[in-house]
Amino acid sequence: MTAWRLGIIGGSGLYDIDALEDRRWTRIDSPWGDASDEVLTGVLNGVELAFLPRHGRGHMIPPSAINARANIDVLKRAGCTDIVSVSAVGSLREDLPPGALVLADQYIDRTRQRPNSFFGAGLVAHVSMADPVCPRLSALVRDAGARAGAEIKPKATYLAMEGPQFSTRAESRLYRSWGCDIIGMTAMPEARLAREAELPYAALCMVTDYDCWRADNADVDVASILAVMHANVARARQVVAELTLGLSKISRSASPIDTCLDMALITDPAKWDPDLVQKLDAICARRFATA
């Protein structure tokens, strides 16, 4: 049993929580390059938090340029035990209107330009992504939403697209035919990398618009997205506050995700690339200690 230290990745407005105590912006260096921003640490309802603006403060970084490896690495170095992602998405379902909140539990990855693993030549690893989010953390987020008066749908398949442009109508209709529920540009490879870092991950998604599959609907536009997003961020802040209240009452028991690298590293330790081992000092600290 141990204490929770929650990492939260999301937009800048998410962090404007008046009750956050001992707040401090800190630069954390990573061997994987620059993270999106400094990390804001603080304490909310007795729970330590580490916030990271995914696009940087002021939304300076487009989706394809987000250094997800550095972002996950710095949260690992910050001592996070779990990560909650908060992001805006488009809806591919009639019953998920703008303003809805939903927890992603599955992903289809259509990104193309983003490094998607900490591992590679010289140290090969294969983690399971069959169930890419943490069911315990997701349930805690959903319960927090209920206490905050925000209904959160418990399951959704997230189509991760490259962006930065929105979908064509043909693409949007194709993704619906695949059984996808929501579409966004940031969840991958973030969720993959969190798993490689042995960090349980939950994804709270805020629906800002219907994607362009609806023939009778206006095209997706940034102005309408931002209007809905600002309203959703206020609710997301309430969910975070309620989540910390819940976590403050329970100790963190071990998760199977905490040790998922035990069976994932394939390369003979005698053949490990020392340069890659050095870069993985935070991601694999626990696993290397047992090698």
Asked, as a colleague might, if the bond just before 189 is cis with ω within 30 of 0, I would say yes
Whether residue 200 contacts residue 136, with contact meaning beta carbons closer than 8 Å, is answered with yes
Helix (H) or strand (E) holding 237: helix 222-247
To the query of whether residue 211 is one of the catalytic residues in this protein, the response is yes
Structural tokens at position 35: 């993270």
SS3 (DSSP) at 287: helix
Please say if 109 is a catalytic residue: no
| Residue among 16, 209, 258, 262 flagged as catalytic | 209
Closest-CA residue to 70 (of 27, 106, 128):
27
Residue with tokens 């800002």: 208
How far is C-alpha 257 from the chain's CA centre? 15
**Beta carbons within 8 Å of 87's beta carbon, 6+ residues apart:** 10, 54, 184, 186, 187, 203, 204, 205, 206
Q: At which residue do the structure tokens 């998604």 appear?
A: 205
- Selecting among 37, 105, 181, 211, the annotated active-site residue is 211
Strand partners, 204: 86, 103
- Positions annotated as catalytic residues are 209, 211
